[in-house]
Copies of this chain bind each other. A is one copy, B any other.
Amino acid sequence: MRNEIVKKLTATMQAAGLDGLVCLSPENFAYVSGFVVPSQPLMRWRHAAVVVTADGRCAYLAVDMEETTVTSRVDGAEVRVWGEFTDQPMQVLAQLLRDLGLEGAKVGTELNYLFANDYAALCQASPGTRFVAADATLDRLRQLKTPDEIELLRRLARIADESICETLCEVRVGATEMDIAAGLTRRLYTLGAEDFKLMIVATGPRSVYPNVGPSLRRLEPGDICRVEIFSVINGYHAGVCRTACVRSAPPHAETIWNNLVACKYLVLDMIKPGASSKKIYEAFIGQLAKLDLPPIQFIGHGIGLHLHEEPYLGMYSDVPLEAGMVLGIEPLVYDTGHGFGMQNKDIVLVTDTGAELLSDYTDTDRLLAVQ
């Protein structure tokens, strides 16, 4: 577990009148523990949890087959093990809560994550305990990154950016989208990422589809290639997207790209503590309007332990930015008229005085070109 995070949690719990907190989702487990239980995000019935009490004690819940992995990471903290084929995990969790003195207490948990059947089982096994939703509280805490979290996100942003840029410089006309995926993942791991998420390799007419993975389509001259990937270490993500043309840009592509670059600098100039998330979005929309293309619903969002986190920089909310927030900023268009999409996603830290571009490997001022 991570002392600085636990300290933030207990202060919040005391203010909210919570006696305990059960972090059950992979991202909030990683937030408190600093690591990911490998099979938890992959097999959702293999529940793992960290319980934090208002006085700062921590205890873990782990499925038997992950016991050795969890025990090796928790510096002697209690690990309560449940048997995948022999126990009802919510009953074991309820017993752990009792042993921590939380019977009949007010306990925060993640009702946007716990499954309907499991929630019913937990309530039944814990009569008298009052479970309340703590999802928003955890979301809010995770918005402001610690120095360690910022350092990790800087490293992750660099890995994703370099992997995409070098792969696009290496592939040639006739390569498949799968070849791009292969080069991208090879570099990502070589640079030290433990995992990745949401790899988008969308070329030619496929580039208008928001989130498509690689196919066997071959690169042709005049294609647009949208390539995005999130590199992952200890559950933390940084996503970068770059766009390239193949040899030469199709009509209007340069015009669109120059507008997206203008959007990037406009947004970077506006980001600072106290800036309105909605005003930044409106400025982006104003710049994008010169293209007469449908706008996306947000220009950016928080990032850290999930691909998208609060706050969104969009039209539906307005929050003041704060130092320590890390944002994904992604000017993009899906131009179905011309048959291609373009996107330029960067990772940006809100500093005490403005913005710091963390994904600074690729020169995006000019459209990349695959040869």
Residues A211 and B178 in contact, CB atoms below 8 Å apart? no
Nearest opposing residue in chain B for A316, CB measure: B85
* B115 close to A114 (CB less than 8 A): yes
Q: Contacting A45 at CB < 8 Å: which of B42, B86, B111, B112?
A: B112
Report B-chain residues with C-beta under 8 Å of the C-beta of A312: 85
Bound together, the chains give a CA A186 to CA B185 distance in angstroms of: 7
Bound-state CA distance A179–B188 (Å) is: 10
Residues of B with C-beta under 8 A to A209: 68-69, 72
Determine if B198 and A297 form an interchain contact, defined as CB atoms under 8 angstroms apart. no
Report how many residues on chain A are interfacial, defined by Cβ distance under 8 Å.
63
- Contacts A68-B208, A308-B43 given: A115-B112 contact, CB under 8 Å? yes
Residues of B within 8 A of A187 (CB): 182
- Pick the residue among B65, B86, B182, B188 that contacts A190 (CB under 8 A): B182
What residues of B have a CB within 8 angstroms of the CB of A200 in the complex? 38
CA distance A216 to B114 in the complex (A): 34
Asked whether A192 is an interface residue with its Cβ less than 8 Å from the other chain, the reply is: yes
Query: What residue of chain B has the Cβ atom nearest to residue A195's Cβ?
Result: B213
Which residues of chain B have C-beta atoms less than 8 A from A306's C-beta? Answer: 43
A297 and B186 contacting across the interface, CB-CB below 8 Å: no
Further 11 A-B residue pairs, CB within 8 A, beyond A39-B307, A111-B115: A42-B198, A42-B307, A65-B210, A68-B209, A68-B210, A179-B189, A182-B186, A182-B187, A183-B186, A186-B186, A189-B214
